[in-house]
């Protein structure tokens, strides 16, 4: 097993033209099978389960054609480093388009993976989205994280949400095991943030709007890595609270940056702090230029290419940043040789 995996990671690219499917979605190599260690309690999950099973780790991600390569790398990284990989269940959120092909790709790339694909209707948010600083942030699927409590089974009481541009380099059970206490969301947070950058002058000139942040710590958190108590989320009707701010934004333009500001307005200062090692974010640079960046000081459990620059695009263009080499070993994209072996 070790030899197979080591060779797999050392020589991931045979060479140079990308293989695609009939629907122009990329094709991927089959990942190695990752099995539970002896210390793991073997369990099975199905969508029909009605009771919460604490031995299962639930992870939600979105699936679409543009970020599919990143999603596959993210799944592979989780499984490779998990102490009990067979106890990890993935919940993929996708629109109807390509859903059958996406299911087939995940099944063939990860034959042993337990997963479910949920249909997300873009019309649910299309009328609530206004243009932002970057077009990618305006896509309806970027807002699917708001609806996890509605999409997933009621038996799923807790979930980790991961963006599709990250890799995990530690045992995800450590992140899963954090205590949320009374909080709905847990995430690495950065206090003493300057919230004036996230909201427009119209927001700050309205006593009603800015009072939403009164008395709360100005703590920023990146919504690409969150541990969510779905039970408390449902009880507190947090989807409705986030939608309320989205509707206000549509009418009055109170922020510029996609789906993040509503989360700050609802949760900032009321998040269970998680070690910063679980979201070394910003590796994709800013939202305009995507310039190379260094790691933040401290240990690393998760690398996150938030920002404009994505590692697979920079690697393909032969203009990678130094840290993109840390993403490359998890890339399962299937390449076709330029010269036939025959």
Q: What pLDDT does residue 181 have?
A: 94
Does the residue 41 lie in any domain? no
For 297-306, write each residue's pLDDT tens digit: 999 999 999 9
Domain membership flag for residue 295: yes
H helix count then E strand count, the chain: 12, 13
Does any domain span residue 82? yes
Q: What is the DSSP letter of 2?
A: H
**Is residue 22 included in any domain, yes or no?**
no
Three-state DSSP at 182 gives: coil
Q: Are 284 and 267 in contact (CB under 8 A)?
A: no
> What is the structure's pLDDT at 47?
73
What distance in Å separates the CA atoms of residue 312 and residue 297, rounded to the nearest whole number? 24
Confidence category of residue 221, pLDDT binned at 50, 70, 90 = very high
Asked whether residue 229 carries a pLDDT value surpassing 50, the answer given is yes
Number of domains in the chain: 1
For residues 123-141, give the mean pLDDT.
76
Tokens standing for residue 49? 């389960």
pLDDT at 1 > cutoff 50: no
- Long-range contacts of the stretch 302-305 (C-beta < 8 A, 24+): 302/166, 302/167, 302/168, 302/169, 302/170, 302/175, 302/225, 302/277, 302/278, 303/166, 303/167, 303/169, 303/327, 304/163, 304/165, 304/166, 304/222, 304/224, 304/225, 304/279, 304/280, 305/70, 305/165, 305/166
Query: What pLDDT does 18 receive?
Result: 54
Structure tokens at 304: 């996150």
Q: pLDDT grade, residue 6 (50/70/90)? A: very low
Nearest CA to 265 out of 209, 223, 222 is that of: 209
- The mean pLDDT value for 113-129 works out to 91
pLDDT one-digit tens code per residue, 56-102: 999 999 999 999 999 999 999 999 999 999 999 999 999 988 889 99
| Average pLDDT value for the chain | 88
CA angle 25, 27, 28 (to 5 degrees): 140
Q: Domain range holding 151? A: 57-330
Residue 3 has pLDDT above 90, yes or no: no
Q: CA-CA distance, 145 to 100, in Å (whole number)?
A: 21
> Does residue 131 form part of some domain?
yes
**Spatial distance between the Cα atoms of 142 and 132, rounded to a whole number of angstroms:** 12
Residue 40 belongs to a domain: no
The answer as to whether 117 is a domain residue is yes
pLDDT at 11 over 50: no
CATH for 186: 3.90.550.10
């Amino acid at each position: 097993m070790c030899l197979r995996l080591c060779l797999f990671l050392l020589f991931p690219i045979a060479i140079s033209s990308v293989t695609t499917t009939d629907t122009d979605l990329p094709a991927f190599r089959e990942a190695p099978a990752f099995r539970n260690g002896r210390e793991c309690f073997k369990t099975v999950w199905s969508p029909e389960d009605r009771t919460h099973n604490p031995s299962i780790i639930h992870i939600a991600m979105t699936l679409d054609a543009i970020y599919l390569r990143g999603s596959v790398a993210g799944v592979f990284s989780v499984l490779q480093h998990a102490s009990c990989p067979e106890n990890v269940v993935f919940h993929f959120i996708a629109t109807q388009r390509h859903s059958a092909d996406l299911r087939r790709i995940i099944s063939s790339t990860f034959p042993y993976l337990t997963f479910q694909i949920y249909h997300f209707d873009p019309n649910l948010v299309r009328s609530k989205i206004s243009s932002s600083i970057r077009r990618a942030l305006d896509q309806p699927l970027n807002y699917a994280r708001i609806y996890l409590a509605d999409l997933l089974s009621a038996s799923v009481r807790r979930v980790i949400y991961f963006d599709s541009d990250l890799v995990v380099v530690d045992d995800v059970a450590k992140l899963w095991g954090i205590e949320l206490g009374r909080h709905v969301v847990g995430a690495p947070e950065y206090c003493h943030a300057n919230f004036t950058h996230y909201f427009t002058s119209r927001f700050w000139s309205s006593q009603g709007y800015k009072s939403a942040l009164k008395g709360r710590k100005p703590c920023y958190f990146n919504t690409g890595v969150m541990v969510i108590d779905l039970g408390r989320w449902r009880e507190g009707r947090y989807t409705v609270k986030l939608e309320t701010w989205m509707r206000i934004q549509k009418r009055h333009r109170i922020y510029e940056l996609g789906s993040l500001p509503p989360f700050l307005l609802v949760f900032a200062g009321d998040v269970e702090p998680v070690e910063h090692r679980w979201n070394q974010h910003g590796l994709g640079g800013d939202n305009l230029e995507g310039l190379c960046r260094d790691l933040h000081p401290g240990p690393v459990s998760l690398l996150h290419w938030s920002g404009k620059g994505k590692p697979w695009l920079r690697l393909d263009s032969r203009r990678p940043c130094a840290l993109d080499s840390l993403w490359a070993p998890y890339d399962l994209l299937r390449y076709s040789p330029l010269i036939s072996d025959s």
